[in-house]
């Protein structure tokens, strides 16, 4: 969890066909040559969410998708044992409502036997990638120099499919290996650019976003599909996390709240399509947001190998702004945070944000300069390998609608965090972006930071 990524500054666009004309966007604000456009988005999450539009409605209504662990994943009664080692400590999480193992083999032209053997994460990526292409209005990308970058966290299917060595056939390697998550997409859609699966724990999809942006800037590809996927297919990882005291007792993420006691695991798939801004403008694409710069770093050797570090996170955010060419950090109205709801993580993250704001001479700010912070995790859980990109989609939607959704499960500020000193506000109801400020939303996920501008 120490891998960090930062993407900087997307500008808000109009999701409609025709030439990409972005109201209130100054394309001279930064180097257009280094700007990346988000031109397509798709997602599937808990609570029956199957599109960004459904996600936005879900967020604005302050809903959460917390539910009992489905029997289609595993029998929770066999593994539930609060207070006992090597057991699952909660009966709940944030799970997809549809069966992730299903795939239309005829539509994709894949043999039914191969579909049966295939990691459900591959199946979900295939479907959501098609939805992302449709959202971008792209139908002629086969045979193109498209890059593919997929972030992943768990390896549940490998263990499940490898229990009986005699059942392994010619489909086993391509159906279970994590490398195949990205390679399957490139093969299926005949893309000829770089293709890689990235596994850096909770930051996987954000590191994938960083790599996709960098590949575009190096002209390694003409467009990049960036995805994150997370399915919870067996109890093994949950048991390990329970024993590590990472997870909350009730399965919920209670980000920034006094009752925060760990995070709730969630399933999700999020996909975006990226182009160089100048190419998106030339092609008349619908531009959802503009990324002005990305950055990734590591804390190095700190107190623990998995513990968050304030200095590392502060450096990440500052460098992200620097690479984006943004000096007026104090004009940032909203931070979309990693916000897992862990006792240590929330404190460290807010401390890093506070230091960044202080360095931007906000030590004496007026009430109008309050900075809003939030996290999507209380709504849809910590989707781990997909969490960063899911936060990106929330931020883009917020910029498009000019509204910051409320934080779910928030009742009282965590007393261990200096919210008042830093003039940080957690929204308890939907609110507009503060007047007179740049429409900009840094995304700070997993020790990653991303910044969007409008």
Of all helices (H) and strands (E), which one includes residue 132? Answer: helix 120-136
Return the minimum-mean-pLDDT range out of 120-134, 189-203, 423-437: 423-437
Please state at what angle helix 204-217 crosses helix 387-401, rounded to 10 degrees: 70
pLDDT in tens, 321-351: 899 888 888 788 899 999 999 999 999 999 9
Q: Is 384 left (phi over 0), alpha (psi -120 to 50) or beta?
A: left
Q: What is the end-to-end Cα distance of the chain in Å, rounded?
A: 30
pLDDT the model gives residue 328 = 84
Architecture of domain 32-295+306-452: 3-Layer(aba) Sandwich (3.40)
Predicted confidence band at 80 (pLDDT cuts at 50, 70, 90)?
very high
The residue among 7 and 407 whose pLDDT is bigger is 407
pLDDT bin (cut points 50, 70, 90) of residue 308 is confident
| pLDDT above 90 (res 21) | no
Rg of the chain, C-alpha, whole Å? 21
Q: What is the pLDDT of residue 326?
A: 87
Q: Which helix (H) or strand (E) holds 146?
A: strand 146-152
What lies within 8 Å, CB to CB, of 302 at 6+ separation is 2, 309, 312
pLDDT value, residue 306:
74
- Report H helices in 284-412: 310-324, 343-359, 377-380, 387-401
| pLDDT tops 90 at residue 125 | yes
pLDDT at 2 exceeding the cut of 70: no
Is residue 126 pLDDT above 50, yes or no?
A: yes
What pLDDT, on the 0 to 100 scale, is given for residue 178? 96
pLDDT of residue 47: 98
pLDDT value of residue 366: 43
pLDDT band at 111 (very low <50, low <70, confident <90, very high): very high
Q: Percent of the chain at pLDDT above 70?
A: 88
Q: Please report the pLDDT score of residue 51 as a whole number.
A: 99
Mean pLDDT of 34-51: 98
Tell me the average pLDDT of the chain. Answer: 88
Q: What is the DSSP letter of 28?
A: T
Q: What is the pLDDT of residues 357-414, one digit of tens each?
A: 877 654 444 434 789 999 999 999 999 999 999 999 999 999 999 999 999 999 999 9
For 184, what's the count of Cα atoms within 13 Å in the CB-facing half-sphere? Answer: 29
Task: Break the chain into its structural domains and give their ranges.
Answer: 32-295+306-452
What pLDDT was estimated at residue 3? 38
Query: pTM here?
Result: 0.91
Contacting residues for 127 by C-beta, under 8 A, at least 6 apart: 44, 103
pLDDT at 4 over 70: no
What pLDDT is recorded for position 16? 39
Q: Encode pLDDT of 243-300 as tens digits.
A: 989 999 999 999 999 999 999 999 999 999 999 999 999 999 999 999 988 889 888 8
Top-confidence residue, 11 or 246: 246
pLDDT of residue 361: 52
Higher-pLDDT residue of 443 and 236 is 236
pLDDT at residue 360 in the model: 66
State the DSSP H helix or E strand holding residue 15, giving kind and residue range, or none if neither: none
Strand 449-453 and strand 3-8: the pairing is parallel
Lowest mean pLDDT segment, chosen from 8-17, 22-31, 354-363 = 8-17
* Secondary structure class of 287 (helix, strand, coil): coil
Question: Which of 46-50, 163-167, 258-262 is predicted with the least confidence, judged by mean pLDDT?
Answer: 163-167
Contacts of 162 (CB under 8 A, 6+ apart): 168, 172, 176
Note the pLDDT of residue 32: 66
- DSSP code at position 405: P
Residues 167-173: what's their mean pLDDT? Answer: 87
């Amino acid at each position: 969890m120490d891998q960090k990524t930062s993407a900087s500054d997307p500008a808000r666009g109009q999701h409609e066909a025709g030439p990409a004309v972005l109201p209130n966007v100054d394309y001279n604000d930064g180097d257009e040559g280094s700007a990346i456009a988000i031109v397509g988005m798709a997602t599937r999450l808990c609570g029956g969410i199957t599109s960004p539009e459904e996600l936005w409605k879900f967020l604005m209504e302050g809903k959460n998708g917390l539910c009992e662990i489905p029997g289609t994943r595993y029998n929770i009664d066999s593994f539930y044992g609060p207070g006992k080692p090597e057991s699952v400590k909660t009966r709940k999480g944030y799970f997809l409502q549809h069966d992730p193992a299903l795939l239309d083999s005829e539509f994709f032209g894949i043999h039914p036997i191969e579909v049966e053997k295939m990691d459900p994460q591959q199946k979900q990526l295939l479907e959501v990638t098609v939805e992302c292409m449709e959202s971008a209005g792209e139908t002629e990308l086969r045979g193109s120099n498209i890059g593919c970058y997929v972030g992943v966290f768990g390896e549940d299917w490998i263990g499940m499919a490898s229990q009986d060595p005699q059942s392994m056939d010619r489909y086993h390697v391509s159906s279970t290996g994590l490398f195949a998550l990205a390679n399957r997409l490139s093969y299926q859609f005949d893309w000829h650019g770089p293709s890689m699966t990235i596994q850096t724990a909770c930051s996987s999809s954000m590191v994938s976003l960083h790599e996709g942006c960098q590949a575009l800037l190096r002209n390694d590809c003409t467009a990049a599909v960036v995805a994150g996927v997370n399915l919870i297919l067996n109890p093994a990882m949950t048991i390990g996390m329970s024993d590590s005291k990472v997870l909350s007792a009730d399965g919920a993420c209670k980000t920034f709240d006094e009752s925060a006691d760990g995070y709730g695991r969630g399933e999700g798939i999020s996909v975006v399509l990226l182009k160089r801004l100048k190419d998106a403008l030339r092609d008349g694409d619908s531009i959802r947001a503009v990324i002005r710069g990305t950055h990734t770093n590591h804390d190095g050797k700190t107190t623990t190998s998995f513990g968050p570090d304030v200095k590392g996170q502060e450096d990440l955010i500052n460098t992200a702004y620097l690479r984006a060419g943004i000096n007026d950090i104090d004009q940032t109205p909203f931070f979309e945070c990693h916000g897992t709801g862990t006792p240590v993580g929330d404190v460290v993250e807010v401390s890093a944000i506070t230091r960044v704001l202080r360095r931007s001479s906000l030590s004496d700010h007026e009430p109008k300069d309050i900075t809003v912070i939030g996290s999507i995790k209380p709504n849809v859980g910590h989707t781990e390998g997909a969490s960063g990109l899911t936060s990106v989609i929330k931020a883009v939607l917020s910029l498009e609608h000019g509204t910051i959704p409320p934080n779910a499960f928030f009742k009282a500020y965590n007393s261990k965090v200096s919210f008042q000193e830093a003039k940080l506000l957690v929204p308890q109801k939907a609110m507009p972006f503060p007047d007179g400020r740049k429409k900009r939303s840094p995304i700070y996920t997993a020790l990653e930071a991303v910044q969007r501008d409008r």
